Structure 1
């Protein structure tokens, strides 16, 4: 069952799809000046041009990958250092040390993801344009519109398309007839064999349908009579060349990129990445077997361009010293945002924790101890005994001597007072 979507239907990606569609139309009109008006050729040129416009983002992502190859060993040491530690202080220290490493190399955790986030909407919009070429190339749209205008007047059109071509989703206008755009969407999904069957279903329109289909088949033809709207399985040879090329080019492209990034085999997630690099090319081949050949051409063209691009980027980075690249990245990062000394923050955190521990220890040591109090009390008692002993009169003084009289005076001043 083929469900239709309206030609140039509105949506979040419509501004991007309209821009890309305009570029595709310009390319077609340009090559048509030389008698080369062909949708498959336009797909290849269109893919090369759009990916060329995204080269700055690709280079930025490659720079981050190069810096990451030098930065990752330090990040791995930090992860190993705090492995299994989940307390607040350890997690805070790990975060600060990680941020210090990123700042040291002028990088950001989001640096590798940002180009991908920007390119993803473009890639989705690009697929939308490739999948619905008649909506964006004016000359091809006109060929389909001639047939659609005649079919619009036929009663029972929806049932015929549903029963014979497994197409649903026609949209009616206010007058009750189906819109031209929805009929064009239905016709653009017809394969090579469907056009002759369509003519047999509408004998009165056979001439119009056959004339239009002949021009459409010529524009959509590719490599030995293939039609970009056909499924590769509909013509095993040379149809299977597209899925095979898709797997081969995607595999080589991912292998080339992985080798250029210098990914450590012991790094976290390296085994998963290796599996994805093997799995994704195979999946692209499976998808090519089920989707129109035009989508497969787009994937092959994109992979070929990426291989050429990666080769040029590798040559470019071979001439640049990695330390110089890091130095430039640090300077650029300092201009963008305020520099934060994470190492100083770590030192202050360590001093704060040491001071807190010292205060607790000091308070504990300054607390009065029972043994100290007891010793002081015993000392006071001993002193009092000594004082009381020294105040006793000495009975060994000679009678009438000066010493005896002095002792008598001392006894009178002992605090007892005169009676």
Structure 2
């Protein structure tokens, strides 16, 4: 076993254990063991287990994204402060102050990518499990927690006439494989694009939208779907199902967070304040939207020509 195989082995075993567990459970409920739909539901079950386990990581990602958006005004001031200064001491001082800003806001530029990075080993593990099905069948072996009998079942399983182990690059002219993989690749890239687009359109303040960080995010908005779309021609149908369902889960999570806990100053935050005002509820700042050491001002909402101003705390009069 090579170095990569050694690293991936525990992930392959865990992926196959979860899939086999769902497959056996669904079979006991009456679904055919060799059916491609039974194995497809097992892959969906794998997604649900992994994404449920990653909810704490997702919460950390949301906090990191919010922190990155809230520090953009301070980051822009820092960049203006050192604008045009290219000497080593100035660059070092700017880096130190920038790290201090990240620490103060409890975030860093890489935290937003954390769920994707955590998921990648499972993604590659599923890819290697499905890609190794035909080899395991020829050798008369199992793969991970899958017995040889289950390997034979999976290898023979299909949905809509397309084997779950087939990929567009190796379709051999099978029209069912070609059509289904193209549809799945489009679904995978579209759900990924929409998920990122809704964050930028609804859950970012004007300061964040004008920041250099936002320009990088806009590039990633288009680059990542292209990368996965091009790579998708080599993915087995089972992997495409996994990634599409994962994207749908992420989209649902993002929709809930944006609607219920939006970033202060974003269009979603203004929409939430308007909904609260329409219901006669107090317009307050988001829970968890405070910076460390500073309060975020409550949103101001225009409703039926009445301007709702944030309440100011009563100050004690100074005695002469």
TM band (smaller chain):
0.5 to 0.7
* 1:312 corresponds to 2:239: no
List gaps (5 residues or longer) in structure 1.
136-140, 149-178, 186-211, 332-419
1:64-103 mapped onto 2 (5 Å cutoff): 64-87=64-87, 89-103=89-103
The equivalent residue for 2:189 is: 247
Measure how far apart 1:321 and its partner are. 3.6
Q: TM-score, normalised by structure 2?
A: 0.65
Distance 2:122 2:180 in 1: 30
In 2, are the aligned partners of 1:13 and 1:121 still within 8 Å (CA)? yes
The equivalent residue for 1:157 is: none
Q: Could you say which structure has the higher helix fraction?
A: 1
Alignment match of 1:229 (pick from 165, 174, 177): 165
Distance 1:238 1:103 in 2: 47
Question: 1 or 2 for the larger relative contact order (CA 8 Å, sep ≥6)?
Answer: 1
Max radius of gyration: which structure?
Answer: 1
In 1, are the aligned partners of 2:154 and 2:164 still within 8 Å (CA)? no
The equivalent residue for 1:268 is: 212
Distance 2:222 2:132 in 1: 30
The equivalent residue for 1:49 is: 49
Secondary structure, counterpart of 2:289 in structure 1: helix
In 2, are the aligned partners of 1:229 and 1:293 still within 8 Å (CA)? yes
In angstroms, what is the RMSD of aligned CA positions?
A: 3.6
Distance 1:122 1:330 in 2: 39
Measure how far apart 1:262 and its partner are. 1.6
Q: Deviations over 1:266-325 (max 9, x none)?
A: 322533432332233234333333432222212211111111121122234248945843
In 1, are the aligned partners of 2:261 and 2:287 still within 8 Å (CA)? no
User: Cα–Cα, structure 1 residues 272 and 217, in superposed 2: closer, same or farther, change >3 Å?
Assistant: same
Distance 1:15 1:282 in 2: 30
* 1:33 corresponds to 2:65: no
Distance 1:226 1:80 in 2: 57
In 2, are the aligned partners of 1:66 and 1:261 still within 8 Å (CA)? no
In 1, are the aligned partners of 2:199 and 2:258 still within 8 Å (CA)? no
Alignment match of 1:20 (pick from 11, 15, 19): 15
The size of the alignment, in residue pairs, is 254
In 1, are the aligned partners of 2:127 and 2:235 still within 8 Å (CA)? no
